[in-house]
Amino acid sequence: MQGYTGKLLHKPGLNGEILEHLEKFITTCIAMEKSLLPPIPYLAAWQGDRKRIWYEYASPRLRRLLECPEGDPAECIRQKVLDRREYHYTDSIHATVEEQIISGSKLQSKRLDLRQKVIEQGRVEAIYKLSVGTGTVWLKDQAIIMKFPGDDIYLSPGCLTDVTKEMEQKELLERLGYYDELTGLPRRSIMDRIMEINVGQYCRGHIDDFCFILIDVDHFKKINDTWGHKAGDYVLSTMAGIMYSAKRKEDELGRFGGEEFFGICQGDIQTGLAFTERLRHVVNSHSFKWKGHDLEVRFSAGVASATELKNLTEDALVELADKRLYLAKSRGRNCTVIEG
């Protein structure tokens, strides 16, 4: 087969099933390569519990990207990997995304464990950071795993996607302190910038109205005092995740400070109320558990809209929302106040 650099097609004694799949996968990889679609196709393989993976097909684009025109592409990748990252959700409703990073220096010792994990899952989904030339390249790896017991061989057809721009932007935002470390939400300093933009657009007549929401976890001190600060951190990070999953793409949500969150949305006070109540509903519906104990987590909120203020400023809007948050607390908590 033209361009074939693997070894299984030339290995005597393989059964017909694996040979049929090999030819089909390699033909598909070559067709994808000719189509110039962004994903870079490959076909990896390994035998039994041996450590080394090899490529039955490695795209010429992959070789060019990694600057390894000759030799074993699998070994080239192993030498260039700086770290491997996986992202997964930490609860059943896809609330919080957790990043797991394994450095390149530790990958060798964990290679067999990772291999067993992907075999059990039947798939691979990870992002690799690689050192190429004087810079770095990020590749998202997505593949399936197929076992051929008769030959004690695994095949893994997959694609690599260059996500360098996205990952570099993520790292830049993290370095600039865009995100709060505990909740993963934008910090208050970002809120100030978003508010400044919205006030400017409103004053120039580009938007008709917008709302600012201030949210405070009810009885948060009691949670800390009863279960400890780690329980409090769990509540804040989990609450942030489930609220984020409930917001619309155009809504803003972040951490104001302590146990307080902020929200910003386009629209009038009723739109702000609907947004806040949607968040409150998902929090009330979620089962918060800490070391086997159920935690009752609720919040109070105050909402203020730009059109309510004769002299609109960021501070005045925050102050009005804070006043209404205080009213929500005084009215028994676990509610949203939009007047007063």
| pLDDT (tens digit per residue) in 213-251 | 999 999 999 999 999 999 999 999 999 999 999 998 889
- What do you get for the CA distance between the two ends of the chain, in Å? 77
Q: Calculate helix-pair angle for 220-227, 229-246, nearest 10 degrees.
A: 140
DSSP 32: H
Tell whether the model's pLDDT for residue 41 goes beyond 50. yes
The CA-based diameter of the chain, rounded to the nearest angstrom, is 84
CB 140 within 8 A of CB 163: yes
CB 226 within 8 A of CB 214: no
Q: Which two tokens stand for residue 215?
A: 């949210």
Distance of alpha carbon 42 from alpha carbon 28, whole angstroms: 10
Tell whether the model's pLDDT for residue 151 goes beyond 80. yes
* % of residues, the chain, pLDDT over 90: 63
Buried b (16+ CB within 10 A) or exposed e, 138-163: bbbbebebeebeebebbbbbbbbbbe
What confidence category does residue 92 fall into, taking pLDDT thresholds of 50, 70 and 90?
Answer: very low
What confidence category does residue 94 fall into, taking pLDDT thresholds of 50, 70 and 90?
Answer: very low
Q: For residue 76, what are the contacts with CB-CB under 8 A and spacing of at least 6? A: 63, 66, 68
Q: Which two tokens stand for residue 249?
A: 């793409």
Distance of alpha carbon 323 from alpha carbon 339, whole angstroms: 10
CB 266 within 8 A of CB 192: no
* Bigger pLDDT: 96 vs 136: 136
Distance of alpha carbon 287 from alpha carbon 92, whole angstroms: 11
The pLDDT tens digits for 107-117 are 888 888 888 89
| Look-up of token digits 């033909």 | 27
* Bigger pLDDT: 154 vs 12: 154
278 three-state secondary structure: helix
Q: Poorest-confidence range of 97-106, 139-148, 241-250?
A: 97-106
CB 333 within 8 A of CB 301: no
Distance of alpha carbon 228 from alpha carbon 226, whole angstroms: 6
Distance of alpha carbon 83 from alpha carbon 150, whole angstroms: 34
Output the pLDDT for position 10: 83
CB 275 within 8 A of CB 251: yes
Q: Which two tokens stand for residue 107?
A: 């990958």
The pLDDT tens digits for 166-190 are 998 878 777 667 888 899 899 998 8
Output the pLDDT for position 318: 96
What confidence category does residue 95 fall into, taking pLDDT thresholds of 50, 70 and 90?
Answer: very low
Average pLDDT value for residue range 263-285: 96
Output the pLDDT for position 335: 97
Strands 260-266 and 252-257: antiparallel
What is the residue type of 10? H
Strands 135-144 and 123-132: antiparallel
Q: pTM score, two decimals?
A: 0.55
* Bigger pLDDT: 300 vs 76: 300
What are the CA-CA distances from residue 76 to residues 26, 58, 79 (Å)?
21, 12, 5
What is the residue type of 3? G
What confidence category does residue 87 fall into, taking pLDDT thresholds of 50, 70 and 90?
Answer: confident
Average pLDDT value for residue range 39-57: 88
Q: Which two tokens stand for residue 257?
A: 């400070």
Output the pLDDT for position 93: 40
Average pLDDT value for residue range 91-97: 47
